[in-house]
């Protein structure tokens, strides 16, 4: 990815000095490089910062806090009154570009109004973004978007958790989603993204249309998904020995497959998106795999004292009407175990 050229064109567009040819070049670069959403967002927010936030150092700190899990930052040194800071993105030349950018771009008084939508544990929300995109937000999830998305030159959202998107078509403004591990760019389609920070995998499931996906740590590798396909990325972590010795991270595992259709009674469900219909469908999953799903669905904390229960496998469907007692009774009928519930704490023994 030509990061330097993208930054240059973004700056020219923000200043109103970009030519028609350069604008087309920028559009092509952004479509071809969905991970460049971070550069686009930083330049846009810096340009839109109100006067009270016009200090590049202040604004850069706020951007750093929002993307600290995806980008690597370090403070250079004190530069006196200019207070410039350096952004380090491993494997690119973006650092020098952003330092110059923070000095060259003038500041406007129009503010960027970010909106955060939160679905707490046990809650699922459905709403529409300003551009007409429909969103279903699963339990224990957060979504950030610009309130002026309808009129701005870009459509970008950030997701932590799980959401289903029915993207409003706009051929001139691709819709981009950024998560801790992946970036997605689309024009108009419907798909599901599951990106809980504590889950072992990050998943994208495509229902209709087409999307381009890239892993943030491997931005040059693009995956173009087709309907009924699913991409699962195993979140990798260094071992304790590697952390102490500064070793290399374990290899990332990327799996491409088809969506899981489950027949329960007389109904057929797509397992990955059944939650938007207030149904939690699981097929041949271990109790250990079900624990985080059940915790989010019912807003409970599960403690397992009998480790033998963790390997029990289940296939079933949970509906909105089923409470935690009914679920545990049903699971207990298939494989025997004991449990007790105190407020939001469930103990399996």
What lies within 8 Å, CB to CB, of 237 at 6+ separation is 249, 250
Name which of 51-60, 159-168, 207-216 the model is least confident about: 51-60
* Residue 85 tokens, joined: 């800071």
Asked if 12 and 100 touch (Cβ cutoff 8 Å), the reply is: no
pLDDT at 289: 92
CATH of the domain at 218: 2.60.120.1440
* Both tokens assigned to 29: 């670069």
pLDDT tens readout for residues 19-43: 888 888 887 777 666 556 556 656 6
Higher-confidence residue: 75 or 290?
290
* 109 domain residue, yes or no: no
Tokens of 45: 């927010």
Backbone torsions φ then ψ of 142, nearest 5 degrees: -135, 140
CB atoms within 10 A of CB 270: 18
Q: Which residues contact 122 (CB under 8 A, 6 or more apart)?
A: 139, 296, 297, 298, 299
Are 9 and 100 part of one and the same domain? yes
Q: Are residues 321 and 238 in the same domain?
A: no
- Does residue 169 sit in the same domain as residue 99? no
Query: Tens digit of pLDDT for each residue in 162-197?
Result: 999 999 988 888 899 999 889 998 877 999 999 998
Mean pLDDT of 134-159: 91
Question: Tokens 């409470």 — which residue?
Answer: 323
Dihedral angle at the C-alpha atoms of 268, 271, 273, 274, nearest 10 degrees?
60
Domains held by the chain: number: 3
Whether residue 272 sits in one domain with residue 158: no
What's CA 259's distance to the chain center, in Å?
19
C-alpha to C-alpha distance for 23 and 11, rounded to whole angstroms: 11
For residues 155-160, average pLDDT: 93
336 and 252 both lie in a single domain: no
Q: What is the mean pLDDT of residues 239-251?
A: 50
Report helix angle 3-14 to 94-104, nearest 10. 10
3-class secondary structure, 173: coil
The pTM score is 0.65
Is 320 among the domain residues?
Answer: yes
Host domain of residue 319: 261-348
């Amino acid at each position: 990815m030509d990061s330097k050229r993208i930054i240059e064109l973004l700056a020219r567009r923000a200043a109103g000095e970009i030519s028609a040819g350069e604008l087309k070049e920028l559009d092509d670069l952004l479509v071809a490089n969905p991970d460049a959403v971070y550069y686009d967002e930083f330049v846009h927010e810096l340009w839109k910062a109100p006067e009270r936030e016009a200090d590049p150092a202040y604004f850069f700190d706020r951007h750093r806090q929002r993307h600290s899990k995806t980008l690597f930052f370090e403070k250079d040194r004190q530069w006196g009154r200019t207070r410039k800071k350096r952004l380090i993105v491993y494997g690119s030349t973006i650092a020098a570009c952003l330092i110059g950018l923070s000095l060259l771009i003038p500041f406007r008084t129009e503010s960027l109004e970010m909106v955060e939508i939160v679905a707490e544990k046990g809650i699922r929300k459905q709403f529409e973004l300003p551009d007409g995109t429909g969103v279903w937000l699963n339990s224990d999830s957060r979504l950030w978007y610009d309130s002026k998305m309808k009129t701005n030159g870009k459509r970008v959202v950030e997701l932590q958790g799980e959401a289903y998107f029915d993207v409003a078509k706009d051929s001139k403004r691709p819709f981009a989603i950024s998560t801790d591990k992946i970036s997605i760019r689309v024009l108009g389609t419907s798909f599901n993204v599951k990106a809980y920070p504590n889950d072992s995998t990050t998943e994208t499931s495509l229902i209709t249309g087409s999307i381009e996906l890239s892993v943030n740590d491997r931005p040059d590798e693009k995956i173009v998904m087709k309907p009924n396909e699913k991409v699962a990325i195993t979140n990798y972590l260094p071992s304790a020995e590697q952390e102490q010795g500064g070793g290399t991270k374990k290899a990332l595992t990327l799996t491409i497959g088809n969506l899981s259709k489950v027949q329960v009674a007389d109904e057929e469900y797509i397992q990955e998106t059944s939650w938007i219909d207030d149904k939690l469908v699981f097929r041949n999953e271990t109790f250990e795999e079900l624990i985080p799903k059940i915790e989010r669905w019912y807003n409970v904390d599960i403690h397992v004292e009998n480790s033998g229960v963790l390997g029990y496998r289940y296939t079933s469907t949970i509906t909105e009407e089923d409470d935690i007692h009914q679920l545990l009774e049903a699971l207990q009928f298939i494989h025997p175990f004991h449990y007790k519930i105190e407020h939001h704490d469930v103990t399996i023994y």
